[in-house]
Amino acid sequence: MLHLFAMLVAAFTGILIFAGGLVTSTESGLSVPDWPNTYGYFMFFFPLEKMVGGIRYEHTHRLIASTVGFLILVLAAWLWRAETRRWVRRLGYLALAAVITQGILGGITVLWYLPDPISIAHASLAQIVFCLTMTIALATSPGWKRAYAANGPAPDDLMLQRVAVVTTGLIYLQIVVGATMRHTGAGLAIPDFPLMFGQLIPPHWDSKIAIHFAHRAGALIVSLAILATTGHVLYHHRSRRELRRPALLLLALLATQVTLGALTVLSKKEFIINSLHVVTGASVLVTSLVLTLRAHRSRFAGAVGSRVRFTPGPTIRTRPTVSPLETTRDHG
Amino acid sequence: MHPLLRLLACAALSMAVIGAACGGGASEESTASKTAAPVTNPVDPNTASAITGVVTLQGTPPSNPPINMGSDPYCMKLGAATTPVFVVSDDSGLENVFVYVKDGLGSLKFPVPSSPVVLDQKGCSYSPRVFGIQVGQSLDIVNSDETLHNIHALPMANREFNRGQALQGMKYTTTFTAPEVMLPFKCDVHKWMNAWVGVLEHPFYAVSGKAGAFALAGLPPGTYTIEAWHEKLGAQTQQITIGPKESKKISFVFKV
């Protein structure tokens, strides 16, 4: 039940990111000038018939954000009451602190007329909140608790662990660059795709073109990293369902995301496409995170009996071990 | 401390931060300080001169873009509308051009009118779309619509503000502390709503009206740089010298 609730919270967080994408894509961030009230109304009592124009996006974003905040509060309390693993409980507290900070950042950015650093921090912290809720959902899942033991002990593949961590880090960095591009108005600084002003490298530069270029170059780097991670999984761990499925999903999301990125430019930032690009980017991030955490499962407490050190090729060597994360109270 | 209490304390602290962050008030009066201004006009009425003229558009004016007001049922029922970028008379007179004395007044200081300038949000558009105001003069921003608006000023030299007006009849009064030509306004609720104000330290400005006509009256004799600004076509300047009690005509021609 806790896992289902955590899944619900994570799903709502994803929806919230999409709603936030709609706010920036429609440039509605300042259509409600006050905060936390809405045009002087207590936000939950704001009349529906007054939700017109840009207010529809901004106020809906605030309502969903409040819902997510409340859900995370319940989740943290639930974890505190029912969860035996200290690190999972701490994740709940951290998610609560992050979502509260996120709300404050959202308010400040409205009251201060969308200063770029605050807006970028708001967009970047949203991804952290999504990662935290997804990690809680994963850690409370039956599969994680069983250490994915249906196919034998989870592999301890150092190469996969490293490449997955790097990939997830690169994806997050790419999202931060994307947020910088959105909030500095550099989304169409390079107006064509796949070329840039008709060339492989922009023939002239300014700060916006540089940010936009960094996002495109970042997309290439992230794509290679994802291909490396998923390729490694599919080549060496095809039989491990818990790794194969997120790897395949990651590939599908990557293809979708690159397509949406191109369409965002070609459609001159059509707001639905633009917002889908935002939420798909977040989905790429959390999928990579799930794959990364599962690749590290053998290093968490509760791994089945032993850690299986993976070596490339057909040979798998098993050695008994005690997880460094294991504590007297923790399991998994 | 018990973990639950710690959790609650954190939540309470955060709420306190939120409360502090959301401070501010619902005051409808801007706190911007007014610039000290003389009480009397320094221009001798016996030598006061005038510059009159006309702004014209050469070429076929582009059609004004239609406005999609579908995002607000109230605005939509007002009927089809276009953004009045090019308002051109039959004899090519161009309306909504801000004409003002850009340079030539030296250190003269002028009294600030006691009557406010009114910017109305009516029919889901700003009225007037282009206007002028003196530094320190009151600007009354009113909402005559049965829908809500936010009035968002985007200045470079003055203080930015963004005020919500949820109800018909609401008024917000503000002043500007520094000259700025032009200072844009927009409504973030209704993306098509835009207006521009020219903020000056003197009263010598006008907005071209029907047939593109304008008049700058009560000027002291001297040599002036006159600028004409249009929201799409940019600005043009001319120099002109006028003597005592003289009236001269100039014309600005914008090309498309």
Residue pLDDT, tens place only, B7-43: 334 444 443 343 333 333 333 555 444 456 677 888 8
Report chain B residues whose CB lies below 8 A from the CB of A27.
188, 191
Q: What is the pLDDT of residue A304?
A: 57
CB-CB contact of B72 with B6 (8 Å): no
- Nearest in space to B143 (alpha carbons), one of B117, B114, B116, B123: B123
Is B166 an 8 Å CB contact of chain A? Answer: yes
CB B190 within 8 A of CB B149: yes
Q: Which residue has the tokens 């709420």?
A: B15
Question: Which amino acid, one-letter code, is at A301?
Answer: A
The CA R_g of chain A, rounded to the nearest whole Å, is 21
**Mean of the per-residue pLDDT values of chain A:** 91
Residue B248 pLDDT greater than 80, yes or no: yes
- The pLDDT of B106-111, averaged and rounded, is 92
Residue B212 has pLDDT above 80, yes or no: yes
A54 vs B contacts (CB less than 8 Å): 71, 188-191
Q: Does the beta-carbon distance from B148 to A41 stay under 8 Å?
A: no
How high is the ipTM of this complex?
0.79
pLDDT at B5 over 50: no
Backbone phi, psi, residue A89, to 5°: -60, -40
Residues A277-315 have pLDDT tens digits of: 999 999 999 999 999 999 999 888 766 554 555 666 543
Secondary structure percentages of chain A, helix, strand, coil, to 5: 70, 5, 30
Structure tokens belonging to residue B110 = 């002028």
Say which of A33, A50, A73 has its CB closest to residue B163. Answer: A33
Q: Count how many Cα atoms sit within 13 Å of the Cα of residue A320 in the half-sphere of its side chain.
A: 1
Taking an 8 Å cut-off on Cβ atoms, the answer to whether B11 and A35 are in contact is no
Separation of alpha carbons B169 and B148, rounded Å: 10
Phi, psi values for residue B175, rounded to 5°: -135, 165
* Cα Rg, chain B, nearest whole Å: 23
B68 touches chain A (CB under 8 A): no
Q: Tell me which chain A residues have a C-beta less than 8 angstroms from the C-beta of B150.
A: 30-33
pLDDT tens column, A54-90: 999 999 999 999 999 999 999 999 999 999 999 999 9
Place of tokens 């106020």: A59
Name the interface residues of A facing B (CB cutoff 8 Å).
27-37, 39-41, 50, 52-56, 73, 76-77, 80, 93, 96-97, 100-101, 103-104, 107-108, 111, 113
Contact yes or no for B228/B99 (Cβ under 8 A):
yes
The CA–CA distances, whole Å, from A316 to A37, A236, A237, A311 equal 60, 11, 11, 6
Distance CA B187, CA B125 (A): 9
Q: What is the pLDDT of residues A213-266, one digit of tens each?
A: 999 999 999 999 999 999 999 999 999 999 999 999 999 999 999 999 999 999
Distance between CA A121 and CA A241 in Å, rounded? 36
Residues of B within 8 A of A35 (CB-CB) are: 22
Q: Residue range B152-174: average pLDDT?
A: 96
